[in-house]
Structure 1
Amino acid sequence: MTFVLVVDDEPQIVRTLTINLRARDYEVESAGDGRSALQVMQERTPDVVVLDLGLPDMDGVQVLQQIRASSQVPVVVLSARQESDDKVEALDAGADDYVTKPFGMDEFLARIRAAARRGPSDAPEAPVVTTADFTLDFGDHRATRGQDEVRLTPTEWRLLAALAQSPGRLVTHAELLRAAWGPAYGRESNYLRVYANQLRRKLEPDPSHPRYLVTEPGIGYRLKV
């Protein structure tokens, strides 16, 4: 049974999500603040975390950063914050998805299903990719720059794996979105900009002048090796 941890301080939201998730055979536990959520995570790792950003004791992004320090569990942010900067900050901190309140239950459940299917290490396999500056081993999910190991999130691995299937080939926004987040996605190109910038900071020798992860404006990306 898929275990979902709901982190939100609004009792009505928690009740609604719990009823709908349990009706679809999910196991659900809730936490009303960040510290309680992190305590649950120490005791048992959920399959999916639903995380509100406006928690009473600490900002949800801080909770997300602490989760990411030790776990790659899929995290779906559920927040009333609709500004682009808030979404970018959450994605940059390691969120897998971002749903704004108010939300449709059907859409929310579809996002939970997609997150649960992906799991914490569900990146497609590809051959080892070696460049002059970094190496990507998709079998072991290990990235290195020189002698240093580079930590990549599951979403970053999925995006790189889609690009690495045919190095140098243009991969469209729609293809990348489906590879990383599933068939329900196709127009959220702002997600890709966030992750492309993250990957460049981690892998490129000069992130402001990318040599390997190249943008084709308005179309997609290429991985040049």
Structure 2
Amino acid sequence: MTHILIVDDEPRIAEPLMFALEREHFTVSHVALGEVALEKLSHGKVDLVVLDVGLPDLNGFEVLKRLRASSEVPVLFLTARQEEVDRVLGLELGGDDYVTKPFSPREVVARIRAILKRLAPRVSESLWQLDEAGARILCKGQPLPLTRSEYRILAAMIQHPGQVFSRAHLLDICDSDEDSFERSVDTHIKTLRAKLKPLQADALIATRRGLGYFLESL
């Protein structure tokens, strides 16, 4: 699942945005300080950052400068500032888009989807169609009859082609009481390959011996 990190110290801003994103099937984390955000980003997988400019500890631009030293994760700025120079500075430092407060959570969700679509790997556009809102995946235009766990596993692989996922990582992605053993991941991979075989796409889910599974890039 796509993981969005919100960095904002105002609950009245962050909470409605978290609700809107979770309703659209995003995984959402929230922190209030820039230093905490940088620490989290250095350790965990985050697909996009929603970053407030006016944080209590670090200016949002400083957070972005430090982040860009080691990561190209897309960043959407939230700002109450109206000056064009601030908007331009954010983009010049490596921001991907900005929204000026007050804003509609639906607008932010739409801008996030636009950024992710623009930056999505080509493999997602050519072979796979990932419909997160409808929790479904199409392969070569054909909808796949996936269980909840199969959908979560394949969606993660589509979003990160070539990345090796360990069994433990995929077990966390499944996030299901029914999946309590790493070997259950092997069963899901087997059934996924069986469902992809009629479309001649089963071989795209590859095994890295001793490490885990990954999706071949086209």
Q: Distance in 2 between matches of 1:52 and 1:7?
A: 6
Q: Distance in 2 between matches of 1:31 and 1:119?
A: 24
- What residue number does 1:84 align with? 84
Q: Which 4+ residue blocks in structure 1 deviate beyond 4 angstroms?
A: none
8 Å CA contact retained: 2:16, 2:105:
no
- What residue number does 1:98 align with? 98
Higher helix share: 2
1:28-60, Cα deviation, whole Å (9 max, x unpaired): 001101001001101113111000000000100
- Whichever residue aligns with residue 14 of structure 2, its letter is V
8 Å CA contact retained: 2:32, 2:55:
yes
Q: Distance in 2 between matches of 1:88 and 1:115?
A: 17
- What residue number does 2:5 align with? 5
Q: Indicate whether 1:15 and 2:35 are aligned.
A: no
Larger radius of gyration: 2
Matches within 5 A, 1:17-56: 17-56=17-56
1:78, distance to aligned residue in structure 2 (A) = 0.8
Q: Distance in 1 between matches of 2:58 and 2:88?
A: 19
1:121, distance to aligned residue in structure 2 (A) = 6.7
Unaligned runs of 5+ in 1: 123-225
Matches within 5 A, 1:141-180: none
Q: Distance in 2 between matches of 1:9 and 1:118?
A: 28
- What residue number does 2:214 align with? none
8 Å CA contact retained: 2:2, 2:26:
yes
8 Å CA contact retained: 1:50, 1:77:
yes
Question: Structure 1 residues 74, 86: CA separation in 2 closer, same or farther (over 3 Å shift)?
Answer: same
- Whichever residue aligns with residue 117 of structure 2, its letter is R
- What residue number does 1:129 align with? none
SS of 1:50 mapped into structure 2: strand
1:107, distance to aligned residue in structure 2 (A) = 1.7
Q: Distance in 2 between matches of 1:20 and 1:74?
A: 19
Q: Distance in 1 between matches of 2:83 and 2:45?
A: 30
8 Å CA contact retained: 1:6, 1:49:
yes
SS of 2:29 mapped into structure 1: strand
SS of 2:94 mapped into structure 1: coil
- Whichever residue aligns with residue 74 of structure 2, its letter is P
SS of 2:98 mapped into structure 1: strand
Q: Distance in 1 between matches of 2:36 and 2:44?
A: 12
1:88-146, Cα deviation, whole Å (9 max, x unpaired): 11111110001100012222111010122233777xxxxxxxxxxxxxxxxxxxxxxxx
- Whichever residue aligns with residue 15 of structure 1, its letter is E
Q: Distance in 2 between matches of 1:81 and 1:59?
A: 13
What percentage of aligned pairs have identical amino acids? 48
Provide TM-score, normalisation by structure 2. 0.54
Q: Distance in 1 between matches of 2:3 and 2:118?
A: 14
8 Å CA contact retained: 1:74, 1:120:
no
How many pairs align?
122
Q: Distance in 1 between matches of 2:60 and 2:121?
A: 23
1:165-206, Cα deviation, whole Å (9 max, x unpaired): xxxxxxxxxxxxxxxxxxxxxxxxxxxxxxxxxxxxxxxxxx
Unaligned runs of 5+ in 2: 123-218
- Whichever residue aligns with residue 7 of structure 1, its letter is V
1:17, distance to aligned residue in structure 2 (A) = 0.8
